[in-house]
Amino acid sequence: MAFAMFDSLSNRLGGIFRGIRGRGRITEENVAEMMREIRTALLEADVHLDVARQFCDEVQEQAIGAEVIKTLQPDQLMVKIVHDELVELMGPVDPKIPFVTPGPTVLLMAGLQGSGKTTTCAKMAKMLLARAKRPMMVAADLKRPAAIDQLETLGQQTGVPVYAERGHQNAVKVSRNGISHARKTDRDVVILDTAGRLAIDEELMGELSKVASACSPQQIYLVIDAMTGQDAVNTAKAFNERLELDGVILTKFDSDTRGGAALTVKRITGKPIKFIGTGEKLEALEEFHPDRIAGRILGMGDILSLVEQAQQQYTVEEQQKLEAKMAKGRFTLDDFLGQLRKMRKMGSMKDMLKKIPGMSGMMPDDMEMDDGELTRIEAAILSMTPREREDPKIIGASRRRRIARGAGVEQQDVSSLVKQFDTMRKMMTQMAGKSMLQRMKMGTQLSQMAMSGKAMPRFKGSTKGTRRQLSKRDRRKRRKR
Ligand SMILES: Nc1nc2c(ncn2[C@@H]2O[C@H](COP(=O)(O)OP(=O)(O)OP(=O)(O)O)[C@@H](O)[C@H]2O)c(=O)[nH]1
Ligand SMILES: [Mg+2]
């Protein structure tokens, strides 16, 4: 994504971070100085004053409390803190549309005149078509005679049917009829294009709430125009007080406005941006991902990943040692255990896996590796002797029995751990000598294998019950170990 929108904010922040580069430590003083500069940069980017102030307080608190990791420069750490706070500022957001069965799922677009509602309806319809849905648009803007024509033209362009009624001005009626027409003609999503007004007034709000209560849309989106800056945010606030908004769609993201609306709207209204319009073409609608935008604003992807690595608490040397081991196929179960423990410190397995290039898009949403699973893997590895951890191939039937008993897991769990570890090690050996691009490709393969349940450390352990059955002697032995 290349947008001019955040260019100047991005430059300003870059300058601020460069300013503290090379200073030995983060002190309260230099943080405070930096915060003044960041606040000015945000205000210049048209961020709401209260939001800018609160943002800086939070960053400052984080920075002062932050444990300075040895391998990091202060500017790197600050980039990371500001990044995380930016993500927090704009999120969390779930742009998924909660489709209902039986349909149709109803989406309502509301907003001021010219904000981009009608265009966004067509973009949304097009996006839904690509997701194998059968959308229909309803022309519920009866205030402007040309509005129906505009929607019908867009319908022809996208190949999406449009329901319209001419000769009356009853938006509730046409919306209701549109929905039953959709039901009859087997359309599973209805998008309601409503009328806009130059300013928020009682008539507009009254009409919208009537349509909303008559049609109970699954999602009510407010369409706002990024070019109107803080006015857009005020609009969102007013709409949100009258309608149960589910999210905001920010259009004209491709313009070179300063971006304040994007950074402010969530804090002020409590409702996240779910989609952004990034151009006049009908393909130009994207899901809104705060982390991508934050990364874009900071424009320092490499620093971010560096910091993330450091936060996994591997020093550069450790990292290099591991890489070398992987390359030679000498990565052991002990190393694996070390990684597992660091991963647990970092949060859920799912989040970790998502960071691997090529993985994120392929993870089913309900995939979850629970902590218990990690505990069992850990127990199994801890039950092994150093030699077994070094070279799991020597684990035969009797060793397996002993390990399983010691760990309170099934024997077959031990053998699947060993097998999967072996696959993983081979994969790592292959990865080690490769370029980043090749690694990414392999990451994709790895994830596909994982999806088909073949080769990831998926370790189906037994229940805690087994563990309780350990004999006294075994338990004593484990404690000793
Ligand atoms: N560059 C750019 N232009 C956009 C975007 N979204 C909408 N537009 C343009 O904004 C103008 C207004 O869009 P409409 O969709 O007609 O707005 P509307 O909210 O339906 O307007 P009314 O029906 O009059 O209230 C059109 O010229 C669109 O092409 C966007 O994401 N980027
Ligand atoms: Mg319109």
**pLDDT range class, residue 301, cuts 50, 70, 90:** low
Query: Does the CB atom of residue 225 touch ligand 1 within 6 A?
Result: no
Beta bridge partners of 225: 251
105 Cβ contact partners less than 8 Å away, ≥ 6 residues apart: 97, 98, 99, 188, 189, 190, 218, 219
Q: What pLDDT was estimated at residue 307?
A: 55
C-alpha 99/C-alpha 102 separation (Å) is: 9
- Structure token digits, residue 315: 């020093």
Give the model's pLDDT for residue 461: 38
| d(CA 279, ligand 1 centre) in Å | 9
Ligand 1 pocket residue status of 147, Cβ below 6 Å: yes
What is the C-alpha to C-alpha distance for residues 193 and 118, in angstroms, rounded to an integer?
6
Rounded to whole angstroms, how far apart are CA atoms 55 and 81?
A: 11
Q: Is 206 left (phi over 0), alpha (psi -120 to 50) or beta?
A: alpha
pLDDT at 359 over 90: no
> Over the stretch 180-194, which tens digit does the pLDDT of each residue have?
999 999 999 999 999
Shortest-distance ligand to the CA of residue 114 = 1
Ligand 1 atom, smallest distance to 284 CA: 31
What are the structure tokens assigned to 349, written together? 């397995």
For residue 448, the 8-state DSSP code is: H
Neighbours of ion ligand 2 (CB under 5 A): 117-118
Q: Compute the average pLDDT of residues 334-343.
A: 74
Phi first, then psi: what are they for 135, rounded to 5°? -80, 160
What percentage of residues in the chain have a pLDDT greater than 70? 75
Residue 72 pLDDT exceeds 60: yes
Q: Which amino acid is at 427?
A: M
Strand partners, 224: 250
Taking residues 282-311, report their average pLDDT.
74
Q: Which residues have a Cβ under 8 Å from the Cβ of 418 and sit 6 or more positions away?
A: 392, 393, 395
Distance 151 CA to ligand 1 centre (A): 12
Count CA atoms closer than 13 A to 248's CA, side-chain side.
34
Task: Give the residue, out of 280, 283, 286, with the most ligand 1 atoms within 8 A of its beta carbon, to mutate for a pocket test.
Answer: 280
202-211 long-range contacts (CB < 8 A, ≥24 apart) are: 205/239, 205/242, 205/243, 207/171, 207/172, 208/108, 208/110, 208/242, 208/243, 209/242, 209/243, 210/171, 210/172, 211/108, 211/140, 211/171, 211/172, 211/175
CA nearest neighbour of 235 among 274, 207, 193, 264:
264
Q: Which domains does the chain have, with CATH numbers?
A: 7-93+296-304 (1.20.120.140), 105-288 (3.40.50.300), 313-480 (1.10.260.30)
Nearest-angstrom CA–CA distance, 396 and 376: 20
The predicted structure's pLDDT at residue 152: 97
Distance 42 CA to ligand 1 centre (A): 27
- pTM for this one? 0.66
